[in-house]
Structure 1
Amino acid sequence: MTGSPIPISAGSGNWLAFLVGEDTPLRESIDLVHALFEEPRIRVLDTSNNYGGGESERRIGLAIREYGGVPDDFLIVTKADRDSATGEFSGVRMRRSLEESRERMGLERFPLLYLHDPENTTWESAMADDGPVAALVEARDAGLIGVLGVAGGPAALMQRYVETGLFDALITHNRYTLVDRSADTLLTVAADRGLHVTNAAPYGGGLLTAWPPPLERYAYAPVSEGIRSSAERVADICRRHDVPLAAAALNFSLRDPRIDRTIVGMRTIGDLAATIELAETPVPAAVWAELESVPLATADWRDPR
């Protein structure tokens, strides 16, 4: 095992995991990473510099060292982040973020790395000659990054970054689910331009995992009345057809041909087994037809259209 760069494969049947785990026993986190390394249906682990204040990357690094390296056919993906304490989002900070990630995980090079959450700075600052985008392009040109992507929330802003032509991969989160299609145009634009497209948070942060929902929240905020109403209708359709709500939510993303991978959060090996079961749960065509007819609260979407 050398941890050598591998190509970014396409195909909407793929999915990947991300690990935070700071409130999970360390041994469970390490065992999960090892299980992912040995699970042929998942060949990507996604993390970020600031997940868990760096604890996610630290635990992945411990797991890599204990395992003896990263399997040759496995991809570790991370993201360059602003400073979590000061909010600094500069070129200098991006270089430091990259170095922190390399040190924590013991990796010299990242085959795929994302600029993370650029909505936390201005467009002008992000695109400045000495700004975060320029710093990561420089790191890519120096060989520290293979493919450079952009990951964030607001769909219109993400589309603006996509259209610069500087990025070859995209992560959008919470904007393409059973109850929110804010990123629909973004997905089409990115796919048409040949970007590798990843859809994150198909459960909307937990609302679409079970009914009644375990949390009355959607996309990191209290759920609106309109989105909750749509989710309740979706849940009723799934109940009538004996399809788990979470299975429909996950497969909604997996079945879209514009989406190459889907991010699902995991903390334990049990989460891994449950995710595989949900991904492989058949969802009849009649269910999809009914789900498409559910009225959506477009005015309540994170990015109203």
Structure 2
Amino acid sequence: MTARSFGTRAFTSRLGARLDFTVLGFGSAPVANLYRAVSEETADLTLTAAWDVGCRYFDTAPLYGLGLAETRLNRFLRGKPRQEVVLSTKVGRLLRLCRPEERTGIGKFFDTPSRREVFDYSYDGVMRSVEFSLERLGVDAIDILYAHDVDIFTHGSKEASDRRIAELMDGGYRALEKLRGEGLVKAIGAGINEWQVAETLARAGDFDLFLLAGRYTLLEQEALTSFLPLCVERGIGVVLGGPYNSGILASGPRPGAFYNYEPAPAHILDRVARIEQICASHKVRLAEAALRFPLGHPNVVSVIPGGQAAHEVTRNAEIMGAQIPQALWEELKAERLLREDAPVPA
């Protein structure tokens, strides 16, 4: 399977820069030792599998493996034709040396450098973050910069999130605008865990794209209430991270299945079981419907499920090529398991 076989979507930024997204992108957190350590060889094989199946959009962040994702992408991207790649990373966290027991992400990221995250959404903080990322990635330019995690999930409360949003809009946003205006990046946006916060930012600034993690999926479509219509109105692109809602839409409603990074509660298990039953009646795997569904929305430019091993990446590419009958979407809507106003893939 190649990029051409599962498709690309062109996006034009506010200032006219064109980005050609493969609809299947690659999120690099899993190859940065998320939840378990993976060897350099395994990471290389996984990234190579992504390239071989046609992925040309790669997303990363300083947080992922505390710099490990960016440095692993550095080695992988060397020798690849840079003009074929859409590359995004994130700002808002600086990494500082610390004692091993003080490092960020203990229990989430394994065998990482001894670094701790320092949130900094200021003008200077964003500029320093970009410089460090360019060094770790070994590239001269980054296509997209996302402000990372100015949300409730990360900072613990709406009040704390609001303070971070204010810090970003008073400082870091000016840096992002400057970098875009000077052509040093093609597009700016934010990587967010809640659609409501993404909407707040969309109304506060002139962003090109949002990377929305897990909040527009086969299981959740509340973003259609106001955020996605705003994206349509303003021509804002959406990259959809976490299309499997942290795992449950890939694994199915088995005991211990993860939803939103935690074991799924009973009501989620029940809803997924009902969705899976209808998928089965149409001879469609749950994961096939889950990966394809977000791409029904005209403003979703790419879906980035990631993967920790080459076979997972290959499976995602195969899933992307599945044929989904329109009758499946119609039945899910009839059973109120999918919003009536949700656009679905043709």
TM-score (norm 1): 0.85
- How far did residue 46 of structure 1 move? 1.1
- How far did residue 86 of structure 1 move? 5.0
Q: 2:282 aligns with which of 229, 241, 244?
A: 241
Cα separation, 2, equivalents of 1:44 and 1:260: 10
Contact 2:147 2:189 in 1 (8 A): yes
2:77 maps to: 64
**5 Å matches for 1:208-247?**
208-213=249-254, 215-247=256-288
Contact 1:18 1:47 in 2 (8 A): yes
Partner of 1:180, secondary structure, is coil
Cα separation, 1, equivalents of 2:85 and 2:255: 33
Partner of 1:144, secondary structure, is coil
Contact 1:188 1:258 in 2 (8 A): no
2:89 maps to: 78
- Please list the CA deviations of residues 13-67 of structure 1 after superposition, one character each: whole Å capped at 9, or x if unmatched: 8121112212222112223333434443x221111121111111110001123xx
Aligned-residue Cα RMSD (Å) equals 2.3
What amino acid does structure 2 have at the position aligned with 1:290? Answer: E
Greater shift in the superposed pair: 252-261 or 83-92: 83-92
Cα separation, 2, equivalents of 1:280 and 1:214: 29
Say if 2:177 is the partner of 1:137: yes
Alpha-carbon distance change, 217 to 37 in structure 1, aligned in 2, over 3 angstroms? closer
- How far did residue 274 of structure 1 move? 0.3
Contact 2:27 2:307 in 1 (8 A): yes
Cα separation, 2, equivalents of 1:82 and 1:181: 29
Partner of 2:173, secondary structure, is helix
**5 Å matches for 1:1-305?**
7-9=18-20, 14-20=23-29, 21=31, 22=33, 23-40=37-54, 42-65=55-78, 68-83=79-94, 85=116, 87-91=118-122, 92-119=124-151, 120=155, 121=161, 122=163, 123-128=165-170, 131-184=171-224, 185-213=226-254, 215-295=256-336
Query: 5+ residue gaps in structure 1?
Result: 1-5, 299-305
Cα separation, 2, equivalents of 1:36 and 1:244: 22
What amino acid does structure 1 have at the position aligned with 2:18? Answer: P
Partner of 1:198, secondary structure, is strand
1:302 maps to: none
Alpha-carbon distance change, 226 to 200 in structure 1, aligned in 2, over 3 angstroms? same
Alpha-carbon distance change, 214 to 14 in structure 1, aligned in 2, over 3 angstroms? farther
- Identical aligned residues as a percent: 27
Contact 1:110 1:145 in 2 (8 A): yes
Alpha-carbon distance change, 136 to 245 in structure 1, aligned in 2, over 3 angstroms? same
Partner of 2:186, secondary structure, is strand
- How far did residue 97 of structure 1 move? 1.8
What amino acid does structure 1 have at the position aligned with 2:300? Answer: I
Alpha-carbon distance change, 81 to 294 in structure 1, aligned in 2, over 3 angstroms? farther
Partner of 1:49, secondary structure, is coil
Cα separation, 2, equivalents of 1:60 and 1:78: 11
What amino acid does structure 2 have at the position aligned with 1:15? Answer: L
- Please list the CA deviations of residues 156-209 of structure 1 after superposition, one character each: whole Å capped at 9, or x if unmatched: 221121123421111111111111112223122112211122111111000111
Tell me which protein shows more helix as a share of its residues: 2
Contact 1:37 1:74 in 2 (8 A): no
